[in-house]
């Protein structure tokens, strides 16, 4: 994540304003990562940091010209994807960790808005990065709340870092 922050700072972006918000988002992502890696359960703190990360990405995306068509595509993909995983995650959360149900749902709503906003930039690169990031969190949530997926941890890490890297590259397109 530190490397991605450096890359975001040294490239020549289409929008300097978007870059500022992306650097903030990446820093918040790093904070979230640290909370999730600590030996004690700091999941809620990590979730809150990631929530603000998504708000920063949304603000960055909104600094660009608006494109309704790709926003619609991103929204549909995100909502359909959530339809496949959220019901099972919700049931598991409700049974095992009911206090996390509403924070996780709020997080998912903001994440869907982030993916839609990435599409709203008109940049397919931004949308792909947001979707990779989105799917990494779906794998993380499934592993954490439902049960381990084969190769789930590695899949989560690869999708997460690929998504963040593609989002940084979207600063160029």
Q: Is the CB of residue 26 less than 8 Å from the CB of residue 52? A: no
H or E segment and range at residue 26: helix 16-37
Q: Measured between alpha carbons, how far is residue 151 from residues 38, 93, 156, 163 in Å?
A: 21, 22, 9, 18
pTM above 0.75, yes or no: yes
Q: Which of 16-20, 25-29, 37-41 has the lowest mean pLDDT?
A: 37-41
CA distance 54 to 71: 16
List the domain range (segments joined by +) for residue 18: 2-172
| pLDDT of 32 strictly over 90 | yes
Number of folded domains that form the chain: 1
CA distance 113 to 116: 5
């Amino acid at each position: 994540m530190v490397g991605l922050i450096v890359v975001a700072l040294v490239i020549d972006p289409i929008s300097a304003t978007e870059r500022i918000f992306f650097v903030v988002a990446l820093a918040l992502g790093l904070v979230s990562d640290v909370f999730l890696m600590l030996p004690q359960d700091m999941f809620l703190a990590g979730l809150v940091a990631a929530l603000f990360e998504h708000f920063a990405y949304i603000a960055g995306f909104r600094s660009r010209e608006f494109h309704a068509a790709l926003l619609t595509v991103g929204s549909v993909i995100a909502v359909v994807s959530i339809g496949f995983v959220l019901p099972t995650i919700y049931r598991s959360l409700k049974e095992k960790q009911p206090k996390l149900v509403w924070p996780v749902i709020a997080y998912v709503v903001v994440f869907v808005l982030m993916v839609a906003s990435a599409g709203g930039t008109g940049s397919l690169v931004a949308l792909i990065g947001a979707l990779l990031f989105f799917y990494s969190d779906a794998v993380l949530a499934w592993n954490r709340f439902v049960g381990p997926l084969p190769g789930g941890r590695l899949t989560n890490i690869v999708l997460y870092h690929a998504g963040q890297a593609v989002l940084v590259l979207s600063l160029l397109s």
